[in-house]
Amino acid sequence: MVKATVMSDANTTNPGEHSPKATSSTAGQTEVSLRLWAREGLKTGIWEVTPGTFTSTRPGYDEICQILSGTATITEEDGSSFDVGPGSLFVTPEGWRGTWTIHETLRKMWVVSDLPAR
């Protein structure tokens, strides 16, 4: 029998201990990621990051993001930007590059789909 993976509340579940955000340009910015499920190139989980600015890329995978709490401005490689907050849903496709500016601690639910090696 296959069973569902259940999380009681993605907004309040403790995802674990934060560690320094490697690509941050803000001293003291931290993050934590809790993987909930994975199978054959598909995975999902919860991620949280404290205020600050960091760079981000999507090498070899697409990511679907649903913001659960907090706010941020995401600036694309071409300089255009968009704001996200609770309820925002967006995709960062393979090859995407940009900068995230976190205004208040942000938590997102993520789904990553790995792409086959070229």
Going from N- to C-terminal start, the domains of the chain cover 42-113
Which pLDDT does position 33 carry in this prediction?
Answer: 96
Instruction: Give per-10-residue mean pLDDT for the chain (118 aa).
Output: 79 94 98 94 96 97 98 98 98 97 98 87
Which pLDDT does position 3 carry in this prediction?
Answer: 78
CB atoms within 10 A of CB 31: 20
Distance (Å, whole) CA 100 – CA 85: 12
Which pLDDT does position 88 carry in this prediction?
Answer: 98
Which residues are CB-neighbours of 37 under 8 A, at least 6 positions away?
5, 43, 44, 45
Which pLDDT does position 103 carry in this prediction?
Answer: 98
The encoded tokens of residue 96 equal 């995407």
SS (H, E, C) 89-108: EEEECCCCEEEEEEEEEEEE
SS3 state at 40: coil
Gap between the terminal Cα atoms of the chain: 36
Which pLDDT does position 8 carry in this prediction?
Answer: 73
Which pLDDT does position 118 carry in this prediction?
Answer: 66
Q: Could you tell me the CATH superfamily of domain 42-113?
A: Jelly Rolls (2.60.120.10)
Cα–Cα nearest to 115, from 38, 41, 35, 40: 41
